[in-house]
Structure 1
């Protein structure tokens, strides 16, 4: 094996470089993995822009949506072998890594944790585990299993990768779903799966006055037992509160630092605002790595539709600088791609 590797480094906001660094040496309780498939997450873009709470200046960045292959195994590690396919590796924007991202969002990482072996899954499939785990968490925190209604309904604002995966999970559970998303190719995927779709940009003042997407959803779909705010904007949160049934839950997952909550609106409807964590559910005292990987293995999520394109580490520099949420759903970085 060569001594050096290529890696992205994020030294300050709005700056990313591809550098040559030494390949990390695994300690006795670590494994060295070869990064094969790394999805660009919205949190990675936020870290690059400097407006996310996670800071990751070292080689490989945060890079937590990874599918990797084991290349070296520390002497104190058991149950993992060279050639195994593994999940939950971090610092993934590099050719190699020894970093394990336990929770999957840079939070409460455990020393001595090991990656998860899943030789039944491809590199791309494993790289979706973090996003799928977040979507399962959002779904479970809505507690649809406790709702006594034969016609359960949900509304999803925002169809990024997690919003789309969440939509598929809801539909797979027999829940009627409406989604609000401004970009047509994302709405099309949800529509093909069976969701009722709405374009928030279609309700402009010159043509609709004070009638906008919330009014259209309420009129054509109705209120819902669970509403998921996956955008991170005050306006969509207010719409979510307006559209949930009285006494039911709004899941707030869109990334934001400060959002003002209207006390009167929430109090009148008895709305519960729930903030699902990423890959962990503190209320249930569990994480979702195993469930996410098992769900991916069931091949019921149609994940291939979410991959927009594949790029090299060098190409990822421009992808971060000119990240296009309108055109892209999931970009896969392949560190060994030429």
Structure 2
């Protein structure tokens, strides 16, 4: 009997959506399904490197461009909504065509709004049941719900009760669709090994903000005395490694290498993206967050975790290297969201 083919399609918005799909793809293979991966840009490039043996398909790009200035983030995003709707319509057509051409039996979409079908079971993954955009949050949330309702199930990678990781992002006052809290997803495993680095810097997220932060941190790290491993988050054909004084710099790493680097590091400096938070919670690591300027979701998560005494953070423009000393005063993320995912039960929707 041939295996059921599951289309797994993460949004190409930084690397977070793609990386949190890695354990899902592995679990599908372990439970006798055949995943088919689909995305665009760096997200697709990353998944192709992780799963060279799987069929990889290209989806239309949402063509999201970030503002150079964080204060203009929301308005630049609103101006691009027509582009997004065009991409969503194209996605629907492409997916309809793929169902026959690639014998797709079921769909898992991580925040790709048009990747669903009435013909096969379709699941949507998001940690944002409420989409924060300041005084327009009611509108962006309403638009998001309009799309989520087209799916059979919505998986939220968090726990339902408190303490949780996503706060008001992933929790609503009343459920208006079929929500399943599946527990945090991470491709990382904690290992008891020697720590070689005082600091791990891991960058991700859309341009130009990724590059702006990289340049700032490289300047600040000139005054840092400990050993640093610096992962730029730029997925290219070949891995490049540079050593300069106390800093070992990589353009990108695969999951295995990243897991090792995380475990070898005492502390992590990164964006407050939700996937990074899930990884840090799994590994019980101390961290310092610099949210992407103007990105309400990351600013909210950084503020929430700082307030709860878990992880310190600051604005990108305000960061100075001596602020890393604050991490010792915070308890880290180790006790949050330890729910185990029961994949077999979760994948029951596909049988």
Q: Same fold (TM over 0.5)?
A: no
Q: Which has the higher strand share?
A: 1
Q: Which has the higher helix share?
A: 2
- Higher-Rg structure is 1
Q: TM-score, normalised by structure 1?
A: 0.30
